Amino acid sequence: MTADSPRTRPVILGQNQYGKADNRVVRITRDGDTHHIKDLNVSVALSGDMEDVHYSGSNAHVLPTDTTKNTVYAFAKKHGIESAEQFGIHLARHFVTSQEPIEVARIRIEEYSWERIATSDASARFIGADEVEHSFVRRGQETRTAQITYDGEKWQIISGLKDLVVMNSTHSEFWGYVKDEYTTLEEAHDRILATEVSARWRFNWTDDETRMPNWEKSYEQTRKHMLQAFAETYSLSLQQTLYQMGSRVINHRGEIDEIRFSLPNKHHFLVDLEPFGLQNDNEVYFAADRPYGLIEATVLRDGTTPRIPVDMTNL
């Protein structure tokens, strides 16, 4: 490299970001003998005036990723963790406002939820009912996600969930599709519909001047509406179910303008038992792994601009 200025280089730097990923922080809050847990995985990505570190290796604008890690733990103490979104807002604001070269901060958070272990009556009598409020079992169902982006003026909050596996054992059909020379699939008038929901939804809150949503309540309600729409839709295609799940959320949650789903069709194939003299009346299924159908779409409030990236899955 003998070129001495970016202007004359034949090769230039494009979008770039850096930070510390997968900071696992557990925050215990003690309310007398009753403890509460927040269990997060926090990833920080910062971007801004970073040409020098790429072109010459000068770190004069680089806050070390190790420092961003320290900040996560320090803020868990200073601000507590009211919700993943609120915690991310504290972090993003700090990086953008305290570091001149940082123009945008994006915080991604995964949250794992816990429930209390129900203890026996005998134990409650023996050691005191309130003393056992420090024992937890991880729920292990979906993983909650949040992405908080701040550019010094506006906020973009995209919350979501993944790993939520659902199944309807009936009320699903698939027929009337295009048939070309490579089509061998038989039409189905009663099939299992199962998927592992990945969803991300964008809030229309963007401005410190306006009232923030109640992040915890919004999550619980959004999750509920998705599950209920999945359960209550008589499905002619997974696309139809997806749209029902999305429109239910947009219609019920005024704070959300856009939602994007990535729904693998977890195929459950009816096993052919006729060779064994048995009839399979929608009773015995082979749960297949790969390949799988993959249905992805954005559902949004009319008049708003979609901003959730199309690709939620890795290459």
Could you say which residues in the range 249-288 bind its own copies, by CB under 8 A? 250-251, 258, 260, 264-265, 268, 271, 273, 275-276, 278, 280, 282-288
Give CA separation, 41 vs 9, 146, 162, in Å: 39, 10, 14
Q: Return the number of the residue (214 or 251) whose C-beta is nearest its own copies.
A: 251
What distance in Å separates the CA atoms of residue 261 and residue 310, rounded to the nearest whole number? 10
Catalytic residue list contains 20:
yes
Q: Say how many C-beta atoms besides its own lie within 10 A of residue 274's C-beta.
A: 9
CA distance 77 to 62: 25
Instruction: Tell me the two tokens of residue 41.
Output: 């995985």
Q: Which C-beta is closer to its own copies: that of 7 or that of 209?
A: 7
Query: Measured from the CB atom, is 207 or 283 closer to its own copies?
Result: 283
Catalytic residue among 38, 94, 266, 267: 267
Instruction: Show the tokens assigned to 298.
Output: 């954005």
91 with 105: CB under 8 angstroms? yes
Contact between 182 and its own copies per CB under 8 A: yes
From the list 79, 81, 94, the residue with the least C-alpha distance to 19 is: 94
Q: Which of residues 73-102 bind its own copies (CB under 8 A)?
A: 73-74, 76-78, 98-99
Tokens encoding 310: 């199309």
| Contact residue for its own copies among 103, 154, 246, 253 (CB under 8 A) | 246
Interface pick for its own copies out of 79, 93, 253, 301 (rule CB under 8 A): 301
User: CB count, 10 Å around CB of 93?
Assistant: 17
Single-letter amino acid, residue 64: P
Cβ-based nearer residue to its own copies, 89 or 249: 249
Q: Which amino acid is at 276?
A: F
CB of 226 to its own copies, least distance (A): 10
Which of 36, 61, 65, 79 is the catalytic position?
65
| Residue from the set 31, 177, 189, 211 that interacts with its own copies by CB under 8 A | 177
Neighbour count for residue 182 (Cβ, 10 Å): 6
- Give the shortest CB-83-to-its own copies separation in angstroms: 17
**Smallest distance from its own copies to CB 146, Å:** 9
Q: What tokens does 112 get?
A: 């794992």
Dihedral sign for Cα atoms in the order 145, 227, 172, 274: positive
Which region, judged by CB under 8 A, interacts with its own copies, from 3-11, 83-91, 149-157, 211-219? Answer: 3-11
- Size of interface with its own copies, in residues (CB under 8 A): 158
Q: Does 137 bind its own copies (CB under 8 A)?
A: yes
Q: Which residues are catalytic?
A: 20, 65, 267
